Amino acid sequence: MAEESGSGPNRAKAPRYTCNCPDGPTASKECSMPMSVQVARVLVVDDEPQLRELLVDVLAADDVQVETAANGHQAIDLARRCRPDLLVTDMLLGDCTGLDVIDQIHSAVGDIPAVVITGHSDPRYLTEASRRRPVELMTKPLDVERLRATIRQELHRRREAEKTQRRTRRLRALARKTNIARKDAHRQLDTTCSDLTEAYRTLSGQLAFQQVLLDYQRQLLGAKTDDDTFGTLFRFFVQRSGPLFGVAMVCDQNAELRIAGRFGVPNPDGEAFCEALTSPLVDIALANPQVSTLDATDEADLFDPTIRKYVVGLNVLLVPLIPAPGEMIGLVVLYRKGEQPFTDGDAALAELISGPTATAVRRND
């Protein structure tokens, strides 16, 4: 005969707690759960009132709360309202079998360890029960001490397993935080290293340019004439940039730029060609007095028709000589033949040595 769920008359009633189950909206707020100690919840399912009461008396303890159900329907309803930690069920109940209860509770709230009690020795029942992998399969008459020991061992095992899982989760969370911090540190280190590398390259480049400038100024110390000065410039440029040709121009008494020297590897071009080449370039330099490059092929119309066929493939580097702001006293025209353009490094070198060259020309005057 089925009865309502409850506790035995000989059992000291445990205090009631507010439910703290983590199992979602199906959990009941009337479920008894601990606040200050960890209390395991055992659900006993049996249609025999005396056996239910006996199991309550045997299993109840400070750290074990026992709920009872007289049939499968009550058991499933209780489990849905507050998930038990362990299930103790008889094999045959009034409305179903204990195996049905195990299956439906597992479907409703997840895998829960179970102890199955049976008064039958039919191999079919035992085989079906074994397929559910119960913690223990116990036969009647029931050995209550063995049952109590089995349940306490299983609850202890579950508590230890939960502790291990919590520790594992904490360690994984810590490992994730540590890994994130390590990656952040590596990124910051990589950024710092990149910044330092770039700063080192910049500083090295500046130091190298300063060394180039010092070397050039030392060579200019021996230049006594404009011819010496422009010869020094041309040789210095050839050493660092490669073969090229050049025309040096200085202002005469009428403030007009005149050719002061011609240079070339292996030999300089003729004076007539140099005059025709530099004539339009002077206007460009006066309009924009700064180091610049020019592709003569693209600007062939600037030049006298007599030399246009010779400027095909010609690349020009204009180097104004300005000893003081607003004062251009000379112009150096460097050029290469055969589609050999000047690089940014060539322009930077020309920018670097133009000032000392202008100062040397002014000194020679």
pLDDT tens digit sequence for 149-161 = 998 998 899 889 8
**Domain membership flag for residue 52:** yes
Say yes or no to pLDDT of 41 above 50: yes
- 360 and 226, same domain (yes or no): yes
Number of domains in the chain: 2
Q: What is the mean pLDDT of residues 354-361?
A: 95
Q: Identify whether 61 is part of a domain.
A: yes
Q: Are residues 136 and 232 in the same domain?
A: no
Sheet holding 114-118, edge to edge: 64-69, 40-45, 86-90, 114-118, 136-139
| pLDDT for position 13 | 42
Looking at the structure, tell me whether residues 357 and 225 fall in a common domain. yes
The percent of residues above 70 in pLDDT, for the chain, comes to 89
Query: Which residue, of 92, 113, 142, is where some domain finishes?
Result: 142
* Closest listed residue to residue 90, CA positions, set 48, 59, 131: 48
The per-residue pLDDT for 335 is 97
Quick one: 345 and 243 in the same domain? yes
- Output the average pLDDT for the chain: 86
Last residue of some domain: 116, 142, 168? 142
Domain presence at residue 202 = no
Average pLDDT over residues 232-257: 93
Q: How far apart are CA 302 and CA 276, in angstroms?
A: 10
Do 243 and 117 share a structural domain? Answer: no
**For residue 10, with 0-12 CB atoms within 10 Å meaning exposed, 13-18 middle and 19 or more buried, which class applies?**
exposed
Q: Does 181 reside within a domain?
A: no
Residue 78 maps to a domain: yes
In a domain, 311, yes or no: yes
What is the pLDDT at residue 12? 40
- Is 98 a member of any domain? yes
Residue 147 has φ and ψ, to the nearest 5°, of: -60, -45
Global pTM value: 0.51
Whether residues 134 and 255 share a domain: the answer is no
* Residues 233 and 352 placed together within one structural domain of the fold: yes
Structure tokens at 16: 């009631």
Q: Which domain holds residue 132?
A: 40-142
- Work out whether the CA dihedral 44, 84, 151, 116 comes out positive or negative: positive
Q: Is the per-residue pLDDT at 206 higher than 50?
A: yes
Say whether both 335 and 241 belong to one domain: yes
Last residue within a domain, chosen from 108, 123, 142: 142
Query: Is the pLDDT reported for residue 15 higher than 90?
Result: no
The two tokens of residue 30 are 């009337």
pLDDT score of 52 more than 60: yes
* In a domain? residue 75: yes
| CA gap 243, 139 in Å, rounded | 106
The domain spanning residue 349 has which CATH number? 3.30.450.40
CATH code of the domain covering residue 112: 3.40.50.2300
What are the pLDDT digits (tens) for 295-353? 999 999 999 999 999 999 999 999 999 999 989 999 999 999 987 899 999 999 999 99
